[in-house]
Structure 1
Amino acid sequence: MSDDAFAAATAAIITAGQRMDRFGWVPATAGNISVRLPDGVVAITRSGGHKGFLDAQGVIRVDLEGRPLRAGDRPSAETGLHCGIYRRFPEAGAVLHGHSVPVTHLSRRSAGDAILLQGYELLKAFPGLPTHAAAIALPVLDNDQDIARLQRAVDARWDMSGTVPPGYLIRGHGIYVWGADMPTALLRLEALEFMLACELEARRAA
């Protein structure tokens, strides 16, 4: 594996962490960020640590099963959810996981298994939605400390759906978004966070 590729992935992860921190999407030690390298290895944030203050030591390498490639490295317990996305979607090149206030609040308050987003101009940020006159049902899955079991629930939801949404929520926990590369993943995260913030404001005003 090229050290240059890992260095570039690390730089992209550090920049993404700083941007997510700027918007309050990764408070304290929350969240994790990853990039798939050309050889299939995953560069991902180390367990713990503030994502707004990452340095090169805060990024490690794991295989597609989430196992660290260097003895002593400790990946996040949620690494398995990143790997689940990479295994499912060969085109996925970056995964972002955050814990914003709108995500946490709305996922806790929503009794159903999805949050409907419709009529927003930013829906055009997602493939297959050329106008604002569209809607997506953003899946909400119950939280589970057993990450393998949670990933099976995610896979089952995808298997039942005729279309794959641009991300999903874990109830009371956070959001997962992915894209072909880091700029695409960040664009999708920002679009979803904006729409979810609007939904939260609308419910407060109701």
Structure 2
Amino acid sequence: MQTKAAKQALIDAGRWVSQQGWVPATGGNFSIKTDNGFVVTASGYDKGQLTPEQFLELDQSGTILSGEGKPSAETALHLKLYELQPSSGCILHTHSVAATVLSRFITSDRFEVTGYEMQKSLAGIQSHLDTLSIAIFDNDQDIPALAKRVAEYHQKNPIRHGVLIRGHGLYALGRSVFETRRHIEGLEFLFACELERIKLEGSTK
């Protein structure tokens, strides 16, 4: 994808994600592959009102080629996820209430669901009887250390649709910005359903 088109795609995605309430208080960060490397959001901007000037252009190794401001420290995790899943063309990191709360409620290292028709919104999931699994990692301000843990997990359990960071949010992956947006929407629906199920189970005890 050309750089200009990549920036516009992320501007449109940011406006949509913000309308859902999934990137409050300038939270989140976005990236997309380009013909020359990557385009990433600069740190500290409202993701619902992005402009072309609020992006940085990186080469394949993550070195800044152009743009003002600084990339989020979490850019290193984006680059690691692209390395682990080369078919990915876009990563959108969001901070929804459902993803944040559910990642804290679940004490295991993964979110797993089965039985929901909406699972089929995720690439490769063919039936509601399949089990969808999203890895959960403890939050860490040391992003290289977090990226290392993600890589180690991936060696045994390949990451496909995204990862949850406990108490933080979701990193959704897709082959294109459109697939990533679909993955976010599908996952957020499933997160919300599971939270409602947990509440209902609690109210009947």
SS of equivalent to 1:53: coil
Aligned identity (percent) is: 38
4+ residue runs over 6 A deviation: none
1:53-64 alignment, distance < 5 Å: 53-64=49-60
Q: What code does the residue aligned with 1:98 have?
A: T
Match of 1:155 in 2: 151
Give the aligned partner of residue 171 of structure 2.
Answer: 176
> In the alignment, residue 17 of structure 1 is paired with which amino acid?
G
After TM superposition, the structure 1 = structure 2 runs for residues 70-81 of structure 1, keeping only pairs within 5 Å, are 70=66, 73-81=69-77
Q: Secondary structure at the match of 2:65?
A: coil
Aligned partner of 1:119 in structure 2 is 115
Structure 1: segments with no counterpart, 5+ residues: none
Amino acid at match of 2:176: D
3-state SS of 2:64 partner: coil
User: What residue in structure 1 maps to residue 126 of structure 2?
Assistant: 130
Contact 1:65–1:80 (Cα < 8 Å) also in 2: no
The amino acid across from 2:185 in the alignment is E
Matches within 5 A, 1:24-39: 24-39=21-36
Q: CA deviation at 1:72?
A: 5.0
Superposed CA deviations along residues 166-191 of structure 1, whole A, max 9, x for unmatched, are 11100000101111110001001110
Check the 8 A contact 1:96/1:178 in 2, yes or no: yes
1:101 equivalent in structure 2: 97
- Code of the residue aligned with 2:14 in structure 1: it is G
**Offset at residue 71 of structure 1 (A):** 7.3
Equivalence for 1:185: 180
Tell me the secondary structure at the aligned position of residue 76 of structure 1. coil
Aligned Cα root-mean-square deviation (Å): 1.5
Aligned match of 2:13: 16
Partner Cα distance (1:71, 1:11) in 2: 15
Shift of 1:58: 1.1
Take 2:124 and 2:176, find their aligned partners in 1: how far apart are those partners? Answer: 18
For residues 121-172 of structure 1, the C-alpha deviation after alignment (integer angstroms, 9 at most, x for no partner) is 11112233211111122111001101111000000111121x4341110000
C-alpha distance in structure 1 between counterparts of 2:124 and 2:69, whole Å: 40
Length-normalised TM-score, structure 2: 0.93
**Partners of 2:123 and 2:12 in 1: CA distance:** 25
Deviations 1:83-112 (A, max 9, x none): 111122221111110000001101111111
Establish whether residue 167 from structure 1 lines up as the match of residue 162 from structure 2. yes
- Residue type matched to 1:183 in 2? F
Residue 60 (structure 1) shift: 1.2
1:69 equivalent in structure 2: 65
**Closer/same/farther in 2, CA of residues 205 and 130 from structure 1, 3 Å limit:** same
From 31, 50, 69, the equivalent of 2:46 is 50
User: Which amino acid is the alignment partner of residue 7 of structure 1?
Assistant: K
Paired residues, number: 201
Distance 1:173 1:64 in 2: 27
- Aligned mates of 2:67, 2:6 — CA distance in 1: 21
Alignment equivalent of 1:6, drawn from 3, 27, 35: 3
